[in-house]
Chain A
Amino acid sequence: MPDYILEMRSITKSFPGVKALADVTFSAERGEVHAICGENGAGKSTLMKVLSGVYPHGSYGGEILFEGKTCEFSGIRDSERAGIVIIHQELALVPHLSIAENIFLGNERRGRGGLIDWHKTQAEAAELLNAVGLGEEPTTPVGQLGVGKQQLVEIAKALAKDVKLLILDEPTAALNDNDSAHLLDLVRALQERGITSIIISHKLNEIEATANRTTVIRDGQTVETLDMVAPDVNVDRIVRSMVGRDLESFYPERNPTPGEVVLEVRDWTVRHPQQDRLVVDGASFEVRAGEVVGIAGLMGAGRTEMAMSLFGRSYGRFVSGRTLIHGKPVAPRTVAEAIGHGLAYVTEDRKQLGLNLLDTITRNVSGAALPKLAKWGFVDANLEAKLARHSMDSMRIKAPSVQSVVGKLSGGNQQKVVLSKWLLTGPDVLIIDEPTRGIDVGAKFEIYTLINEFVESGKAVVVISSDLLELLGTCDRIYALSGGRITGELPVAEANEEKLMTLMTKEKEAIG
């Protein structure tokens, strides 16, 4: 009889118009790393919110047993007291507060008279940072850290609460390979200290490498729990269980037929908005019709910054450089002009920069193309509804209706809304920053297919991705960016992970 730290029995949970969890039964053994997989909107995050008391007892059906005791949490404080800590899909740190303050937020170390004991706070924070392997001063404001390091701060914060069961909802979605590897090492290290982890991820190879067992959820129901050491259990096996059939390949076939140059960028140089340093330094590249061009680079290489500054100078201060579209020099100074010239930029940060979470799918999808859907300033509501409906069907956005509020969709479905929004502007060049962040395997394939169809109609796509395999699988040519400079260009036939990595770290080594 295995020693279960957690048992969730027949959990059900409904929202108006949606049954998010129909019947999920799932248990975690003490000290294991248990992965949860499933398509976008399958109910993974909802299940974890039920477990951690975000949705209080009474608002869901079924039974939760933690350490053999029935749990009826009425809030996240209750679950934390029991030793369950959740790190949400969206990080919840306060950017202006220091690392130490964030770690002990709501859990302050007090001294005499109930005042905060800052010495103790700093000392314990330093210890925790050491435990998670983050070499930063406890006094550094969290806003100055990259996502990878913020993720570690979140874990330190969890450790400060005497965690027994750590829940990580897509912890590596926004991380590059190095940071992901570090984080997963940390999860294994915690396992040695006896901490049980539940980890949700769409990166199945990570799960294969880290998890002891994997539970697959589909349409709000448990499909099965797989023992990862069993001989026939591998990524393909998980995929089959997730989508209900075999997946032959992760990337659709591409038959590139590059045409004329659509977008040409020459000596693009951009300065940091506040500091006096170049973020993009003399970058030149070109994209042809019918081509998917990749941009590889480490965190901080200036990929996003370059893309955003090209897109109507949305980032930093423009220094010099030229852009040509269809051979004609253009200089879009605003986003509206950039859209007018046929550019579209799909942000990597859908919540902050991509969506109006308060509004409906329809209005988000039409958001960037609104002037085109209007006559005399009046929006053609019928046309708008029709296009939204079409996007929802062709992208397979899972939601009760096109009038659903985007903030209530699952992460992956939100990503599809952002993509739809930009496809609707009818661009010639689509720049996609992290196209499949937080998207399930099946939907990834669909998005790649969509990219292919888009370029086959004579358009061009630039893909920025931290996932080198994704670049290798979807692009025709790949540029490497390092320290704001283009350090190399490879046709995909000649490229591999190693070569790209060398190019991506070139500048760094040269500097020291």
Chain B
Amino acid sequence: MTVTASRGPKGALAQPPEKNGLGELRLALTRNLRTSGIYVALVALIALFALITGGASLSAGNVTNIVLQYSYILVLAIGMVIVIIAGHIDLSVGSVVALTGAISAITVIKYDLPWWVGVLAALATGLLIGAWHGFWVAYVGIPAFIVTLAGMLLFRGLTLFVLDNVSLSPFPDEYGVIASGFINGWLGGYGYDVFTLVVFALGVVGFAMSQYRSRKARMGYHQPVPPLSLFALKILAVGVLVMAFAWKLASARGLPVVLIMLAVLIMAYTVMMQHTVFGRQIYAIGGNLAAASLSGVKVRAVNFWIFVNMGLLSAVAGIVFSSRTNGAQPGAGNMFELDAIAAAFIGGAAVTGGVGKVVGAMAGGLIMAVMSNGMQLMGIDQSLQSVVKGLVLLLAVAFDIWNKRRAGAH
């Protein structure tokens, strides 16, 4: 006889997951804790500061403030997590924020051109800088750490040069709308903005539907899914939190323009990373460079575009920042790169590349944001704030490693 068809069905070979209810729930929880750990941490942190500050951190004004104040870090973190997934790093983004902001300010303030010309000039500068980095990293083969360290010095120097070492302000009012504008009263208001609430409600419904669909798809392919109760709980928790957030915004000044921009960016980049060939190739390069190139991935081109994209997003952050500060300063964006890198790593990206998620980086960035903001409200000294942030970064990554090891050992 021969061996071909007589090995029994697949199921007989693979051990199915524990079937009893308790074991299943425990499995689902441990598995989900690993992916949802940072979200839980974020919520816990929000609750903690709400307690300490006696609810001040949850005031409508403060919630809105956090969004405005950290939006540009989050924009940078989107680009950064992509760079990190590919196994690189970008140390120059703070300088690029400064230079692009300066270019925009010069265009609009010095040359008196319309605000959108300034925006376009900044974006073009960002693209050029990204292409410059991409060229050295991808086509010459110099490690990104070196290339962007050089870029950090180079573009900071250029900022000082084009600004002649002095600040430039103020921008016309239209420019300020980018970072500090709100949409309010489109559907009327009764002490709170209905439009904001409607937008967020639609968002929650969309989220629930897409989660449900992916759950069904997974079940269709006989892949393990968390039990329905846990799934519903998750949707409910997300929904409640998001609507609470929306309520805060609605009862303050309405829907911030930058938040819309940020939401669009997050969704677009999440789709790109998960559903496009380009995004997949980024994970492949970071996971195993040699295997990726032997699978037909055009490694150089992908690396090049990753840096072009980082340059573009740095320019977006530069525009938002210059709009928020209503001008360009030689020292703008100092240390932003570190916040963006920290956000990516707290959000679960791996130093060795190949692992990470855009939403993770957003959660990581929000953890940093909530912490800084909370400590500011408490009147904690700058020096201590920095100590705490450093420790949190270290502990977050340590927790991640511990978690992985535990998963491997059991």
A70 within 8 A of B: no
- The complex places the Cα of A311 from the Cα of B222 at a distance, in Å, of 36
User: Would you give the shortest CB distance from A45 to chain B, in whole angstroms?
Assistant: 14
Cross-chain contact B407 with A356 (CB below 8 angstroms): no
B354 within 8 A of A: yes
- The complex places the Cα of A386 from the Cα of B220 at a distance, in Å, of 10
Known: A16-B30, A19-B15, A335-B293. A355 touches B1 (CB 8 A): no
Encoded as 1 (CB less than 8 Å from any A CB) or 0, chain B from 87 to 129 comes to 0000000000000000000000000000000000000000000
B287 within 8 A of A: yes
Cross-chain contact A421 with B295 (CB below 8 angstroms): yes
- The complex places the Cα of A148 from the Cα of B10 at a distance, in Å, of 36
Cross-chain contact A252 with B2 (CB below 8 angstroms): yes
Encoded as 1 (CB less than 8 Å from any A CB) or 0, chain B from 249 to 293 comes to 000000000000000000000000001111011011001101111
Cross-chain contact A17 with B3 (CB below 8 angstroms): no
Encoded as 1 (CB less than 8 Å from any A CB) or 0, chain B from 353 to 374 comes to 0110000000000000000000
A134 within 8 A of B: no
* B contact residues around A130 at 8 Å (CB): none
- The complex places the Cα of A3 from the Cα of B192 at a distance, in Å, of 83
Known: A248-B2, A355-B291, A449-B4. A16 touches B298 (CB 8 A): no
* B contact residues around A56 at 8 Å (CB): 409
* B contact residues around A446 at 8 Å (CB): 3-4
Encoded as 1 (CB less than 8 Å from any B CB) or 0, chain A from 391 to 430 comes to 0110010111111000000000000000001000000000
Cross-chain contact A248 with B410 (CB below 8 angstroms): no
A178 within 8 A of B: no
* A contact residues around B222 at 8 Å (CB): 401
* B contact residues around A367 at 8 Å (CB): 280, 284, 291-292, 295
- The complex places the Cα of A59 from the Cα of B6 at a distance, in Å, of 35
Partner among A334, A359, A379, A399 whose Cβ is within 8 Å of the Cβ of B354 = A359
Cross-chain contact B224 with A17 (CB below 8 angstroms): yes
Interface set, chain B 393-407, CB cutoff 8 A to A:
407
Interface set, chain B 1-52, CB cutoff 8 A to A:
1-4, 6-7, 10, 13-17, 27, 30-31
Interface set, chain B 145-169, CB cutoff 8 A to A:
none
* B contact residues around A312 at 8 Å (CB): 296
Partner among B13, B31, B281, B291 whose Cβ is within 8 Å of the Cβ of A398 = B13
A85-93, A203-211, A369-377, A500-508: which lies at the interface: A369-377
Partner among B14, B290, B298, B410 whose Cβ is within 8 Å of the Cβ of A336 = B298
B223 within 8 A of A: yes
User: Would you give the shortest CB distance from B333 to chain A, in whole angstroms?
Assistant: 32
* A contact residues around B218 at 8 Å (CB): 403
Known: A357-B287, A363-B280. A378 touches B275 (CB 8 A): yes
Nearest B residue to A253 via CB reads B2
Cross-chain contact B7 with A396 (CB below 8 angstroms): yes
User: Would you give the shortest CB distance from A396 to chain B, in whole angstroms?
Assistant: 7
User: Would you give the shortest CB distance from B204 to chain A, in whole angstroms?
Assistant: 23
- The complex places the Cα of A59 from the Cα of B277 at a distance, in Å, of 39
B190 within 8 A of A: no
Cross-chain contact B295 with A368 (CB below 8 angstroms): yes
* B contact residues around A378 at 8 Å (CB): 275-277
- The complex places the Cα of A18 from the Cα of B284 at a distance, in Å, of 26
| B1, B217, B223, B224: residue with the most chain A Cβ atoms closer than 10 Å | B223
B221 within 8 A of A: yes
* B contact residues around A14 at 8 Å (CB): 410
- The complex places the Cα of A243 from the Cα of B6 at a distance, in Å, of 10
Cross-chain contact A445 with B221 (CB below 8 angstroms): no
- The complex places the Cα of A17 from the Cα of B350 at a distance, in Å, of 24
- The complex places the Cα of A116 from the Cα of B349 at a distance, in Å, of 38
Cross-chain contact B287 with A402 (CB below 8 angstroms): no
Cross-chain contact B283 with A339 (CB below 8 angstroms): no
Cross-chain contact A59 with B410 (CB below 8 angstroms): yes
* A contact residues around B407 at 8 Å (CB): 16
Cross-chain contact A18 with B15 (CB below 8 angstroms): yes
* A contact residues around B1 at 8 Å (CB): 245-246, 248
Cross-chain contact B10 with A358 (CB below 8 angstroms): no
Nearest B residue to A421 via CB reads B295
A473 within 8 A of B: no
Cross-chain contact B288 with A442 (CB below 8 angstroms): no
User: Would you give the shortest CB distance from B119 to chain A, in whole angstroms?
Assistant: 27
Cross-chain contact B14 with A379 (CB below 8 angstroms): no
Nearest A residue to B294 via CB reads A353
User: Would you give the shortest CB distance from A455 to chain B, in whole angstroms?
Assistant: 17
* B contact residues around A402 at 8 Å (CB): 221, 223
- The complex places the Cα of A16 from the Cα of B34 at a distance, in Å, of 13
Nearest B residue to A406 via CB reads B287
Cross-chain contact A359 with B283 (CB below 8 angstroms): yes
Encoded as 1 (CB less than 8 Å from any A CB) or 0, chain B from 204 to 223 comes to 00000000000001100111
Known: A245-B6, A252-B2, A400-B15. A17 touches B27 (CB 8 A): yes
User: Would you give the shortest CB distance from B61 to chain A, in whole angstroms?
Assistant: 41
Cross-chain contact A396 with B15 (CB below 8 angstroms): no
A314 within 8 A of B: yes
Nearest A residue to B293 via CB reads A335
- The complex places the Cα of A490 from the Cα of B354 at a distance, in Å, of 45
Cross-chain contact B10 with A16 (CB below 8 angstroms): no
- The complex places the Cα of A319 from the Cα of B281 at a distance, in Å, of 30
Known: A243-B3, A248-B2, A249-B2. A385 touches B15 (CB 8 A): no
Partner among A335, A396, A398 whose Cβ is within 8 Å of the Cβ of B295 = A335
Known: A354-B291, A385-B221, A400-B14. A379 touches B280 (CB 8 A): yes
Cross-chain contact B410 with A16 (CB below 8 angstroms): yes
Cross-chain contact A334 with B298 (CB below 8 angstroms): yes
- The complex places the Cα of A135 from the Cα of B355 at a distance, in Å, of 43
Known: A18-B14, A442-B7. A370 touches B281 (CB 8 A): yes
User: Would you give the shortest CB distance from B363 to chain A, in whole angstroms?
Assistant: 20
A55 within 8 A of B: yes
- The complex places the Cα of A398 from the Cα of B14 at a distance, in Å, of 6
* A contact residues around B224 at 8 Å (CB): 17, 400-401, 403
Cross-chain contact B275 with A59 (CB below 8 angstroms): no
Known: A245-B1, A446-B4. A356 touches B283 (CB 8 A): yes
Partner among A336, A393, A401 whose Cβ is within 8 Å of the Cβ of B296 = A336
User: Would you give the shortest CB distance from B276 to chain A, in whole angstroms?
Assistant: 5
A73 within 8 A of B: no
* A contact residues around B280 at 8 Å (CB): 363, 367, 370, 379
Partner among B31, B275, B293, B296 whose Cβ is within 8 Å of the Cβ of A16 = B31
- Can you list 18 residue pairs at the A/B interface with Cβ under 8 Å? A16-B407, A17-B27, A18-B15, A41-B13, A55-B409, A248-B1, A311-B294, A339-B296, A353-B290, A356-B283, A356-B287, A356-B292, A370-B280, A378-B276, A378-B277, A396-B13, A398-B13, A402-B223
Ordered nearest first, which 5 A-B pairs have the shortest CB separation? A356-B287, A336-B296, A368-B295, A335-B296, A19-B15
Chain A interface (Cβ < 8 Å from any Cβ of B): 14-19, 41, 55-56, 59, 219-220, 243, 245-249, 252, 311-312, 314, 334-336, 338-339, 345, 347, 352-359, 363, 367-368, 370-371, 374, 377-379, 381-382, 385-386, 389, 392-393, 396, 398-403, 421, 442, 445-446, 449
Chain B interface (Cβ < 8 Å from any Cβ of A): 1-4, 6-7, 10, 13-17, 27, 30-31, 217-218, 221-224, 275-278, 280-281, 283-284, 287-288, 290-298, 350, 354-355, 407, 409-410
**Given A16-B27, A363-B284, A385-B221, 10 extra CB contacts under 8 A:** A252-B2, A353-B290, A353-B294, A357-B288, A358-B350, A367-B295, A370-B277, A379-B276, A403-B218, A442-B7
